[in-house]
Chains A and B, each alone.
Chain A
Amino acid sequence: MSYKENPASVLDLVTEDEAHRDVYIDQDVYQLEIKHLFRNTWIYVGHASQIPKKGDFFTTTIGDQPVIMVKHSDDTVKVLENRCAHKGTKLVTETHGNTGKTFQCPYHAWTYRTDGSLLGIPVKNEYKPANLERSCAQKGLTALTNVHVYRDFVFARLSENGISFEDYFGDALSSIDNMVDRSPEGRLEIVGNPLRYMNHCNWKMLVENQTDSFHPMIVHFSSAGTVKRMWEEMQPYAGPTPMVVECIVPFAQDYDFYKGMGIRIWKNGHGHTGVNFSIHSDYTEASGYFELMIKAYGETRAKAILDENRHNTIYFPNIMVKGPIQTLRVFKPLAADRTLVESWIFRLVGAPDMLLERTAMYNRLINAPTSIVGHDDTEVYERAQEGLKCHGNKWMNFQREFFEPEGNSPVEEYSGHTEAQMRNQFRAWKTFMHTVNPDAGADL
């Protein structure tokens, strides 16, 4: 029987420390993920700084469906399905812009307010009112009811009923807090467009790799190791350490360094590397920045904010944020073997430009389709996607540093080498694939 015919059988594909290959390569499992996992969980949509003025919009996808994030006339953020209520035409094709007070369909000129409500149908008297009244079309653009804006980060849950935003993320929100607090004004702004990197592999491979502290010294030996060697040969070096050396050399740190970084996991699949310190800890201070922070927060608090140097925080299922370098990566699942990674950067409002320069440099050095760090990551994911076609061994293994039961407390800390966060993600995967979800159909 296929997973389509017996959806509940996908739950047997994940044990406490192994996952069956079908979780990565089977298109039916992928579709069940879109239908359930990406409906039941809180999915990142966009950032409020992308739509500062009334009528500003940003288009993206949640799971496989196109949506519009728009600033409504009452200054609230709305997330609307991007299809005309009439015949399904995608209303907005640009990634961002300003629509004024209404959206108008280019097909038959139906118009909608920016909260999705239907404003007008041309020659409306050609419709029998009672028929229109009972139609879906008359309701206008479907507006998601479960939208939550947390410190300008916009999330949505597609399913009508389910876990609340607060219960879903809990203390994991502290990583977003730290990134925002690094602005002396407590505010972030998205800068420019994202890097868009197509990977021929399953989205979970990318997400798992974000907290895989056992790969950098191996996978990135050829890139970070090369810069490290060149830098050693350049000694003694007069002048400050180049920014590029600070950004890339830590990727070549040894096993002990990454073990010492530590990993923290939270319920519902969230977790982060860099509990104690991280590859971002030793960046040169931007001139005048600490003074601005002291002025904003007082010395003790400013120091506490800047001493928190978390590495990668996963907000399950599919985003990762880096507070100390102000980047956000979105792993968009397109098919079982296709993932689009979008990498965004933020300006710390009120902070010196040098920090933005470093963030922009980090993004292109590490996250671009032209990145020598990214190339080797993508290489190993895609080799795994190919290798999983073998029929003898059908399992992926996540057993490193698994000595005691995990996930029984709201927050747990482990050594940096553990694969506990991957196990954590799969516990959440099972939970949110399993949750009874009336509006997604009764089949799981």
Chain B
Amino acid sequence: MSVKTEDVIQFVIHESRLLDECKYEEWLNLFLDEGVYWMPLDFGQTEEKLTTSLLYEDKLLLKTRVLRYANERTYSQIPKSRCQHLLQVPTVDFMDAKANDFRVYTPFHYVEHRGDETQNFDGWMRHALKIKEGELKIKQKRVDLINCDAPHHNIQLFI
């Protein structure tokens, strides 16, 4: 498969859209088995495992979240949250088809709404992608919030 810049950009846009449309099973399938979703706690954080993050989740945990959303006894999702991603056009920062390494940078505005509460978040996401069996997949999705270290109320859905 030969990947064009436009394919990579469309992949990232599609990924957010699946979240906004609650197509979680499809969304999970975008991750490699060893894929990771990371949301650091600190601005410019480089350490992944030996310090606290907001999220650092492998596929087992991501799947747990997805199954939990559907559970009838998930009290914090009664009523359910809704979300909307507003993305800036993704920039492909690095692309090496031979090394099977694609990096994308995407600033975003994100709204999460539940009951009478609407929360707004801003930041940027960095996707590290790989082709597996002819399809782009996520090796790592890193989400940096501009206010990562601020006190937050519940952030319940995937940014």
Q: Which residues does A use to contact B, with CB under 8 Å? A: 191-200, 219, 221-223, 225-227, 230, 242, 244, 340, 343, 345, 353, 356-357, 360-361, 363-365, 368-370, 372, 374-376, 378-380
Contact = CB atoms under 8 A, between A and B. Distances in A.
A196 B67 contact: no
A282 B61 CA distance: 20
Interface residues of B, number: 33
A360 B38 CA distance: 13
Interface stretch (B27-35, B87-95, B151-159): B151-159
A244 B155 CA distance: 20
Given A222-B75, A378-B76, A360 B64 contact: no
Given A193-B149, A364-B52, A372-B65, A221 B155 contact: no
Given A192-B51, A226-B64, A364-B56, A221 B150 contact: no
Interface of B: 39, 41-42, 47, 49-56, 58, 60-61, 63-65, 67-68, 71, 73-76, 149-156
Given A226-B71, A360-B49, A375-B154, A195 B54 contact: yes
A227 B67 CA distance: 9
A382 B26 CA distance: 33
B17 to A, nearest CB: 21
A226 B72 CA distance: 12
7 contacts: A195-B52, A198-B153, A223-B68, A230-B64, A244-B60, A364-B41, A369-B153
Contacts of B49: 357, 360-361
For chain B, what secondary structure do more than half of its interface residues adopt (helix, strand, loop), or is it mixed? Answer: loop
B73 A230 contact: no
A374 B154 CA distance: 8
Contact of B73 (A196, A222, A242, A365): A222
Contacts of A363: 52
B54 A369 contact: yes
A364 B54 contact: yes
A226 B67 contact: yes
A100 B65 CA distance: 47
A226 to B, nearest CB: 5
Pairs A-B, 5 closest by C-beta atoms: A369-B152, A379-B76, A375-B76, A192-B51, A222-B74
Contacts of B60: 227, 230, 242, 244
Contacts of B47: 192
B46 to A, nearest CB: 12
B75 A198 contact: no
Contact of A364 (B53, B71, B156): B53
A10 B132 CA distance: 66
B42 A193 contact: yes
B58 A372 contact: no
B14 to A, nearest CB: 23
A375 B76 CA distance: 6
A370 B54 contact: yes
Given A193-B149, A244-B60, A364-B55, A230 B67 contact: yes
A370 B52 contact: no
A219 B75 contact: yes
B70 to A, nearest CB: 9
